[in-house]
Amino acid sequence: MKKKIIIIFIFLILLLSFIYLNTYYKAIDVDKYLKNNNDVEVLKIKEGYYFDGGGGKDVIIFYPGAKVEYISYAPLMNKLAKEGIDTILLEMPFNIAFFDMKAANRVIDKYKYDNYYIMGHSLGGVVATSINIDKVKGYILLASYSTNKIENERGVLSIYGDKDKVLNMKEYNKNRVNLPLKYKEVVIKGGNHANFGDYGRQKKDGKASISRDKQQSITVKEIKEFLYN
């Protein structure tokens, strides 16, 4: 009887784990951003998606937020590429970046650029800032923070919305000590947590008072200034 109970318990744990890992926010209306257009060539690659904006010098490697389908960030990646900033959108096992923390290392070894930037949303940002190698010029955090000490050439750009109810501000403020002197914080008025991607409303998130497109456009503008000013 005891052995049978243990087997049932293990089965339930496995079942619950399977359900958890396969429950996530799905992308909404992103297909057009995964296709070539006049400004951006979009390629499906082993690591995820490559958005070639013809930059050649700079590339942003992006870690998606946890439990979010990675292609939800295709609109933001495509908009950055339209501005001449090549981007690589990483596909994570079970949509959780912790399961492939060193994905950016493989990308850096594979694609030759002058400047590499690592960006992540939410938990993806926490993972992104664990990539501490000399070739990384700077980090971009979207509704996220770093639990690791960061020291690099360009520094850190941190962006979040003032309607964000998902970002743990207590942890955010506590981890400010990990950021370098070159640190810029941008608070998007009317922005929330989910609108950096296109996956609908996130549980417990605040209601944005600006459109998703507006939040992403502001984000692109701030990233351009961070890279080139």
Is pTM beyond 0.85? Reply is yes
Asked if pLDDT for residue 133 goes beyond 80, the answer is no
pLDDT above 70 for 20: no
Which residue ranges form the domains of the chain, and what is each CATH number?
Answer: 27-228 (3.40.50.1820)
68 by Cβ neighbours in 10 Å (0-12 / 13-18 / 19+) ranks as buried
Q: What are phi and psi of 60, to 5 degrees?
A: -110, 130
Among candidate residues 59, 171, 71, the one with its CA nearest the CA of residue 123: 171
- What confidence category does residue 5 fall into, taking pLDDT thresholds of 50, 70 and 90? low
CA distance 160 to 195: 10
pLDDT tens, 64-110? 999 999 999 999 999 999 999 999 999 999 989 889 999 999 999 99
Q: How far apart are CA 190 and CA 213, in angstroms?
A: 12
Say if strands 41-45 and 48-52 run parallel, antiparallel, or are unpaired.
antiparallel
Report the pLDDT value the prediction gives residue 4, as an integer from 0 to 100. 53
